[in-house]
Amino acid sequence: MHNDHAPQLLVELMAAQQAGEPVALATIVKARGSVPRHAGAKMLIYGDGRTSGSVGGGEMEAQVVQEAVAALAQNQPHLVPYAFVDPQRGDPGVCGGEIEVFVEPYLPPTAVFIVGCGHVGQAVADLAHWLGYQVVVTDDRADLATPAQIPHADVYLPGDFAAALAQRPLTANTYVVVVTRNVEIDRHILPLLAATPTPYIGVMGSRRRWAETERLLLADGLDETLLTRFHAPIGLELNAETPAEIAVSILAEIIMQRRGGHGKRMSL
């Protein structure tokens, strides 16, 4: 029996990808005996636990949701076998049926989230786009977070930073580049970033500027252990001078973090 909702679920899957939302697609790939849904039935499981569609309900579906959450965390597909043995346990249908459900994780594309659309932010956006990252830009100066200033961004979030974060929650696939114009801006932005699952938060500025930022964050009550979340000053030491060179230094650090490199010369 074909799943009538499959086309709609695929539309939802594409929408989740566009929105940067992690989602897993569960599909019954094998069904034998008495089962509530048949091969081809599909369900989406979102990173926050929401679901759409159904592969049969009851304990079996709860197990599929659990496997989907694990598949998203590991970014690995799972094959879930299930035997319907006990209607009392919440199994829909009668005893004797067996199914296999294939769970595929769809994490959002790897993104670089740039806070600050000055000269360095613009250069980082250009290079990140060229490297194939999805590019998200935000700046409280609304006229800077625009296609006119940054033609290669995928998502523009002008205005308040907390609102930008709410609109585009950070994932384990998002690398954050904070290239703002002063310490006071960083002081308000960094605590909001510290609790997110992003693997990288780089903060631009001199060592002296970062020492001042650290002092203010601690005075504001930030847990000292969270300071290790920040790569500051940002980037690899290349003695970079121009915005484009600084962008190379920043993206090199992101690639190193993402791929597990050490950043040393390959020649002796």
Confidence of residue 83 (pLDDT cuts 50, 70, 90): confident
Residues 172 and 218 in one domain: yes
| Higher-pLDDT residue of 89, 5 | 5
As a whole number of angstroms, the distance between CA 180 and CA 202 comes to 11
The Cα 33–Cα 89 span in angstroms is 18
- Compute the mean pLDDT over every residue in the chain, rounded to the nearest whole number: 90
Whether residues 89 and 222 fall in one domain: no
CB-side exposure of 116: number of CA atoms within 13 Å? 23
Domain stops at, among 79, 106, 133:
106
Q: Is the pLDDT of residue 101 over 80?
A: yes
Same domain, yes or no, for 87 and 138? Answer: no
Q: Looking at residues 211-221, what average pLDDT do you find?
A: 97
What token pair was written down for 184? 């006071």
Could you tell me if residue 236 is inside a domain?
yes
State the pLDDT confidence band at 192, using cuts at 50, 70 and 90.
Answer: very high
Does one domain contain both 173 and 213?
yes
pTM of the predicted protein model: 0.72
245 neighbors 223 (Cβ within 8 angstroms)? no
Whether residues 215 and 97 share a domain: the answer is no
Q: Which of 87, 106, 125 is the last residue of a domain?
A: 106
Domain residues for the domain of 44 are 6-106
Same domain, 137 and 52: no
* 238 lies in some domain: yes
- pLDDT tens for each residue of 61-73: 888 999 998 888 8
Alpha-helical (H) ranges within the chain are 6-19, 58-74, 119-130, 161-167, 183-194, 207-219, 243-259
Amino acid found at 144: L
How far is the CA of 235 from the CAs of 12, 164, 184, 189, 254, in angstroms?
A: 37, 24, 21, 19, 8
Among 84, 106, 128, give the residue marking a domain's end: 106
Flag whether 265 is in a domain. Answer: no
Element (H, E) at 23: strand 23-32
Count: domains in the chain: 2
From CA 72, how far away is CA 198, in angstroms rounded?
A: 15
Give one DSSP letter per residue of 132-180, joined into a string: T-EEEEEESSTTTSSTTT-TT-SEEEES-HHHHHHHS---TTEEEEE--
Kindly state whether residues 102 and 123 are assigned to the same domain. Answer: no
Highest mean pLDDT among 38-42, 95-99, 114-118: 114-118
Q: Is 77 within the bounds of a domain?
A: yes
Going by pLDDT thresholds of 50, 70 and 90, the confidence category of residue 163 is very high
